[in-house]
Amino acid sequence: MVENQVPATIKNRLQISCYDCHSNNTDYPWYSKIQPAAWYLKDHIQEGKDELNFNEWATFSDRRKNSKLRSIISQIEEDKMPLDFYTLIHRDAILSDEDKRMIIDYMTALKDSLE
Ligand code: HEC
């Protein structure tokens, strides 16, 4: 995903909606200093990163990329990501139907190209 061929629109969307929990560059929000939001957020960021870290994408094998792509597609299709508590505060992280379609189409094509 950090690969250069990713279209800027998709990359920007992922950065806004997913990178706080799925990359090394977390932009800690103001409420990260307020307990218990801070504990909650810290756990989720750690857990999110353990599951999927976009900064490590380039090091994944094709097989791993493939399974992560499948997982990303289903998480977005089922409206599971970004997490609800996050979009409650980060309204700009909400994916519109158009964003979802764009990301899913792109991820599907990428997945097919790996098979
Ligand atoms: C507020 C933090 C947060 C945000 C924002 C977030 N995630 Fe997650 N994500 C998590 C956590 C925590 C988990 C693991 C637990 C779970 O599945 O609920 C996870 C799990 C996942 C998984 C499952 C990984 C696997 O190996 O199966 C995928 C895929 C995923 N997220 C994709 C995304 C995408 C795509 C976005 C943006 C559209 C996003 N996430 C935004 C926290 C977040």
Q: Encode pLDDT of 15-63 as tens digits.
A: 999 998 999 877 777 767 777 777 778 888 889 999 999 999 989 999 9
Torsions phi, psi for 102 (to 5 deg): -60, -45
Query: Which residues have CB under 8 Å from 67's CB, separation 6+?
Result: none
* C-alpha 36: how far from chain center: 23
For 93, phi then psi, to 5°, come to: -85, -10
Give me 53's structure tokens.
Answer: 């870290």
Mean predicted confidence (pLDDT) in 66-81: 96
pLDDT surpassing 60 at residue 3: no
Lowest mean pLDDT among 1-10, 16-25, 60-69: 1-10
Q: How far is the CA of 48 from the centre of ligand 1 (A)?
A: 5
Supply the residue whose CA is at minimum distance from atom 14 of ligand 1.
48
The mean per-residue pLDDT over the stretch 69-91 comes to: 93
Q: Ligand 1 centroid to 104 CA: how many Å?
A: 15
Greater confidence, 86 or 37?
Answer: 86
